Each structure stands twice: as structure tokens, then as C-alpha cells.
Amino acid sequence: MHRFAVFALGWAVGLSLPLSAQLIELHFDNDADGSLSAGERAIFQSAADTWNGIITGYAPGITKTTLTIDAHDEFSDGVGGILATAGPNQAVSWGGYIITHFNNPGPGDYDGFMEFDSADVDVMFADGVGWENALFQTVLHEMAHVLGFGTLWEFNNVYDASGAPGQYTGAAGLATYQAEFNQPAAAFVPVELQGGAGTAHGHWNEEFTPPSGPHPPNGITDAFGRDLGDDILTGWTGPGSTSQQWLSETSAYSLEDIGFLIAYSAMPEPSLPALLALAAFSLALNRKR
Ligand SMILES: [Zn+2]
């Protein structure tokens, strides 16, 4: 199976949903050199906690209760460029979906993996606080790829790169998009076609002038003026327009098309303007994968 590179960004607010169990379980034992600091690991955990607050379980018929993720860093292409790669290690048919799952795992076997460029981790860790922290956003993005966002779309028949490129048609994601972005007649959610393997066909579309031009707004905005191109699950980090990275309900509920149950509101909290004022993104044109 192909592995999609990943990098991520997010916007969960109001993470007060009671959880009976934590679905996502992080493992750092492949970070053998311990190069991910305690503070960086805490950011990884906060991203896991965020998804655990959004995902309420699996679709009926799927009794999996824990999704294990190997998180580590290795040097790849230096500062900037590709920040991380992530995806399922194995996927199986379960409950009518193809989900991330490692059959009969042995020691060191995990359902999915996230490999970060060690040159970028420290830079991102120092960039912003809370939801505006670049490492937090990147981990949130990469975790979505482990969950199957972009990586298991074709297996679940919600995207067809060869037959209908650029068109995500999963029912839950599309219905949410139609409502959230006031696109009642839309037949699909627009998917990225640029950026090459690992970026194209695995993210929402972000307007972009190759190879490194400006990222203007998509012009597809929610009721608060937030642009789809600034969603954490587009293929590039940093704000593509004048607004900041956020996690749309479309992104969250699209996971229902690949086997999860979701409870999430993208309503901004009152403190949001203050948080946005702190945003200082230096990674604006890096590729998230
Ligand atoms: Zn990605």
C-alpha cells in the first residue's frame, strides 16, 4: 500500500467531550535516540487527545478499541520542504470499511506510523502556542493520514484518482461540506491535484502556483469566513490566505466515510481572536504531506 507523506494542522475547539476510552495510543519506542524531547512528545500527545476528543468510536460492526501509532523522527530533507510522512502500516476490511489495523501485531508493530523530519521538529515546536503551534498542527495533520484521511480514500470508494481526480464524494464529508461552506449544489469536495505523490489526491484543495508561488484563498468559506484552503488538511502548512489554519467540520466528518463516528463543532471560541493574534507562521509554503 502506498504511504502518504503527511504533515498537519488543526482547529479543534471545545474539546470537552467525555471519552470512555482513548482510541489513539502513541508509542515512541522507535524514537530510539530519544531525540523527541519531553516537550515535543507532550505536543504529540495533545494532538492525539484532540482527535480522541473528536472521534467517538468506530462505525457499528467495528469492535477495534485502540489504534496504535508509532511516532519518531529521522533526518530527511532538512529544514522546510517535507515535514513528515504518515499513514497506516496495515489496513483491513472490517464492518464494511477498510480501516487502519495491524493484524496480529508483534512487539514494535503498530497500526500506523508518523515519521517526522528531525530538522523540522524543533523549528515547529518553537513556532506558536496552543492551536497555533506548528508542531501540534503538523501532528494533527499526520494523524489524520494514519486514520485513513487521504490514505484509505480509494479503498473506501470515496475518491477515484484516475476516474474523477480532484473530487471527494464520501457521503458524510460531502454533506458536511455542502452545509458548512454553503455549497448546497456541490457534487464533491475539491481535492488537491498538485504537489506530486503524497500531496496530490490526499488532501483538500489549496490554491497554489507551482512551484512555490502564493497560496491565495480558495474563496470557499464557512460562516465565520474561514477558507477551505486554510484547513489543516490541505497539502501545505501555513495560512494560504489571510486567515489562520483551522480544522473544518468537513475534515472531521469525512472520517465517518472511512469508518469512524465523529462529534465535532468548528465554532470558534471567544478567545480565538487573541489566539490568532499570537500566530506567527514561518512555514507558510512548506509542504505538509
Ligand atoms: Zn498530508
Dist CA 54 CA 252 (whole Å): 7
Report angle CA 31, 116, 30 to the nearest 5 degrees. 20
pLDDT 10s digits, 256-273: 999 999 999 998 765 444
Are 263 and 17 within 8 A, CB to CB? yes
What is the chain's length?
A: 289
Query: Is 19 part of any domain?
Result: no
Task: Give the count of domains, the chain.
Answer: 1
Is the pTM of the predicted complex or chain greater than 0.95?
Answer: no
In a domain, 286, yes or no: no
- For the record, the C-alpha cell of 265 comes out as 463543532
Whether 128 is in a domain gets the answer: yes
pLDDT digits (tens, 9 = 90+) for 103-153: 999 999 999 999 999 999 999 999 888 888 889 999 999 999 999 999 999
Residues 13 and 268 sit within 8 Å (Cβ to Cβ): yes
Q: Is residue 4 part of a domain?
A: no
Nearest-angstrom CA–CA distance, 259 and 241? 32
In angstroms, what is the span from residue 2 Cα to ligand 1's centroid? 13
What is the CA(287)–ligand 1 centre distance, in A? 8
Q: 164, 71, 59: which is closest to 110 by C-alpha?
A: 71
Binned at pLDDT 50, 70 and 90, residue 93 comes out as very high
Does residue 2 fall inside a structural domain? no
- What pLDDT does 18 receive? 43
pLDDT over 50 at 181, yes or no: yes
- Give residue 69 CA to ligand 1 midpoint distance, Å: 16
Q: Residue 95 region, left (φ>0) first, then alpha (ψ -120 to 50), else beta? A: left
In a domain, 7, yes or no: no
Distance from the alpha carbon of residue 232 to the mean position of ligand 1, in angstroms: 9
Assigned domain for 284 exists: no
| Cα-to-centroid distance, 96 and ligand 1 (Å) | 25
Domain of residue 140: give its range. 24-277
Segment holding 243, helix H or strand E: none
CA 203 to ligand 1 center in whole angstroms: 6
Residue 17 lies in a domain: no
> What's residue 132's pLDDT?
83
Contact 84, 7 (CB under 8 A): yes
